[in-house]
Amino acid sequence: MIKLYDYELSGNCYKLRLLMSFLGLEHEAEPIDFYPGNQHKSPEFRQINPLGQLPVIDDEGLVLRDAQAILVYLASKYDTSENWYPSSDPAILGQVSQWLAFADGITTTASAARLHDAMFYTQIDVDVARAGANKLFRILDEHLYFAELDGQDWICPGDHPTIADIACFPYIMLSEEGGVSRMDYPAIRRWTDRFKRIPGFVVMSGVFPAGPAVEKEAERAA
């Protein structure tokens, strides 16, 4: 079984929990005390990941670090429909990769601001982190506004969400914990509603579920 070195409040670990839930993949979690225990910097953990970062997976002996890399690996290996990582279409693949890199930028800004506010990472310049997050959110909001105009629900073209959506979602959804409001990003806010309605969606602390969409409100009476 896949082992996930996990921290409950980590948005990067949440990305993997999301994908595994969407794919119906079972996993076992090995909790790492990131805060306040700082266990990810311990000598024991640095033998698993010399960068001293979460998440890490161990899939039958293959040890991988970096949330985006693990998304690529899990989707390629376990999603036979190729919906989540459409690797046969170079144009889509390029766009997915582009937004995976963008998600890394969200981590270094929005997630950093959250670490500062919620987990006392006082060495982080929170103003710089927030400004950086807002700059990225402006770009994504415009992208999603024009995607909607083309009838496209997700970050990349196609009828199905991709791992790019998963990679961007957690630290956007948690941004208010770092003092970054999403009020100015209505297209992002609508996209997060759609994301939460993907079958198999799970929450984490600080992320609330969405209500049913219009078309889903069918016959439900007993």
Partner 1 sequence: MTTDLQRNWYPIASSSDLPKRHVYQAQLLGREFAVWRADDGNVNVWENRCLHRGVRLSIGINDGHELKCQYHGWRYANRTAGCTYIPAHPADAPARTICNNTYPTQEAYGLVWTGEEATGDVPALDGFADATVLRPIPLNATTDMVSEALVGYKWNESCLGFANADGSVTVSDSNGVSIRFFIQPTDSHRSVIRGIVNSSLSGDARKDALKRHSWLLQELRDQVEAAASQKEMPAPYEPVIARVAEDLVNIPAIREDGPAADLRVTVAEKEMTADDILKVRFESIKGGLPTFQPGAHIDVHLQNGLIRQYSLTNGPGETDHYTIGVKRDPNSRGGSVAIHDDVKKGDVLAISAPRNNFPLRRDAVHTILIAGGIGVTPMIAMARALNVQGLSFEFHYFVQGESHIAFSQEISEFENAISYHMGLSPEETGKKLGEVLSEPGHARHVYVCGPGPMLDATRKTAADQGWADACVHFEYFKNENEVDDSGSFEIDLARSALTLTVNDGQSILEVLRDNGINMPSSCELGACGTCQCGVIEGDVLHQDVYLTDEEKAANKSIMTCVSRAKSKRLILDI
Sequence-separated (6 or more) residues with CB below 8 Å from residue 182: 137, 172, 175, 176, 188, 189, 192
Asked whether position 214 contacts partner 1 by CB under 8 A, the answer is yes
Query: Least CB distance from residue 157 to partner 1, whole Å?
Result: 15
Contact yes or no for 35/9 (Cβ under 8 A)? yes
**Is the bond into 209 cis (omega within 30 degrees of 0)?**
no
Question: Rounded distance, CA 3 to CA 30, Å?
Answer: 7
Asked whether position 146 contacts partner 1 by CB under 8 A, the answer is yes
Asked whether position 201 contacts partner 1 by CB under 8 A, the answer is no
Query: Least CB distance from residue 90 to partner 1, whole Å?
Result: 25
Residue 72's nearest CA partner among 44, 58, 93, 55 is 93
Asked whether position 44 contacts partner 1 by CB under 8 A, the answer is no
Q: What are the structure tokens assigned to 109, written together?
A: 């800004």
Identify the residue among 94, 184, 200, 202 touching partner 1 (CB under 8 A). Answer: 184
Identify the residue among 3, 27, 77, 190 touching partner 1 (CB under 8 A). Answer: 190
| Residue ranges in contact with partner 1 by CB under 8 A | 138, 142, 145-146, 149-150, 182-184, 186, 189-190, 193, 208-214, 217, 219-222
